[in-house]
Amino acid sequence: MRLLGSIDRLASELARKEYSAVELVEEALDRVERLDGTLRAFITVLPETALAQAAAVDRARSRGDRLSPLAGIPMALKDNLCTRGIPTTCGSRMLDGYRPPYSATVWRRLEAAGAVLVGKTNLDEFAMGSSTENSAFFPTRNPWDPKRVPGGSSGGSAAAVAAGEVVYALGSDTGGSIRQPASFTGVVGLKPTYGRVSRYGLIAFASSLDQVGPLARTVRDSATVLHAISGHDPLDSTSAAVPVPDWAARLDGEVRGIKIGVPLEYFGTGVDPEVARLVRQAVDLLVGMGAEAAECSLPHTEYAVATYYVLAPAEASSNLARYDGVRYGWRAPGAKSLTELYTLSRQQGFGREVKRRIMLGTYALSAGYYEAYYLKSQKVRSLIRQDFDRAFERFDVLAMPTSPEVAFRHGERASDPLRMYMADALTIPVNLAGLPGISLPCGFSRGLPVGLQLVGRPFEEETLLRVAHAYEVATPEWRQAVPPGIAAGRGDDA
């Protein structure tokens, strides 16, 4: 089935004119129609837009134009990335029907490369969640088991890629929201270094933590997409002016001499023993290929979740203050005063989890509590970053589980926010430190995918991708695994 292939393969077949971009996109739209009644990966599907973009690629190819490897390849965007004239909801009633007057930089770059946008994917409201159950519209289901969650908040993007509805998708990662759903659905999820990719047009959750990145079926595909969306952007003050290598061209499958650190804190209490075993087995395989590995310590890891749930809600409280029912977004009917308009619009427009985080953040920033909570958390954040800095004096990459366990069942944690928050315990520290991280499949536990997480030094995505690619090449059984019923496109079995 073509859509379960790699970007490289599809680009070569399109270049040889074995089929047209329009035919490939028609196949993607057909799979969305057959599968998405069960999966619910998409909030918005764009058949007319996608077919028009594909036809433009076919015309360019017939003229002999030089095309990007991404030209004509069906993809999707998480619905917190602005797309001019196309609904961008953030999975929230607050933005239901909102059509931005501008596009996110990442989409403008992909559009210029000839990417074909099949649709906008579901997410936890305003990217606040770990299961894609907090969407105001509907939950998304895991292609490996529809009774289980696909992870979050980029669960729609992950499910769409895992099911072959699209070849790749973009997500955003604030505390693990690309890597954790990648782990739960058996795909590759890459969170770049903070500042590597422009955040312009990404609807903000926590501005010092948010980062856009790809979800794809292979490490090489992730490298190809990352190359297309990276680079300095004057519209984003946090965008870094650093070189953008052609990472995909440098992947050679070689790890000889690479030093891998294995942090003890990431294999302790709360981590499923089978998950820990599979990740250690992956490290052993890399050692057998010529890498070196040793245990290390990141002692402040235990404070990461508490630190994150002060800082992220504080930033969310500030970022979401703009949704007041006046300029755009949901406006409550029948308000008799300005104060009542603000109150009712936010009360009706935001869901339970978003309200919870706004209240947490507002409290942490309030007079008398700022120093006790927010300022102290910033200090702990510095300690967490220093732990990583010390580890990278000895090691090139760190290896650990992406998630403490495999995908959990729908509704299982809905009434227990703390237990839900712990689903990101192993990914959050990477965001707090602003580092690049990648999750890729390393096996199965109880028939569900397990993710190996690799973390690298700032702006050293090349080393990270090199190690991930070498492991992937050595374990084709994980890369080629497809959820039951998906290869045949059977929505009832998805």
Residue 259 bears catalytic tag = no
Catalytic residue (one of 6, 135, 154, 177): 177
Phi, psi of 320 (to 5 degrees): -90, 0
Longest dimension (CA), the chain: 71
Residue 153 bears catalytic tag = yes
Catalytic residue (one of 6, 103, 131, 153): 153
Residue 78 bears catalytic tag = yes
CA-based nearest residue to 121, from 148, 104, 139, 108: 139
Q: Are 165 and 46 in contact (CB under 8 A)?
A: no
How distant, in Å, are the alpha carbons of 6, 81, 187, 288, 338 from that of 131? 26, 19, 16, 35, 35
Strands of the sheet containing 448-456, edge to edge, are: 42-45, 116-121, 74-78, 168-172, 212-216, 188-191, 437-445, 448-456, 397-401, 259-263, 292-296
* 43: amino acid identity, one letter: I
Token readout for 371 is 């120093």
Catalytic residue (one of 78, 183, 239, 345): 78
41/48 Cα distance (integer angstroms): 19
250/102 Cα distance (integer angstroms): 34
Q: Are 243 and 232 in contact (CB under 8 A)?
A: no
Catalytic positions, written as ranges: 78, 153, 177
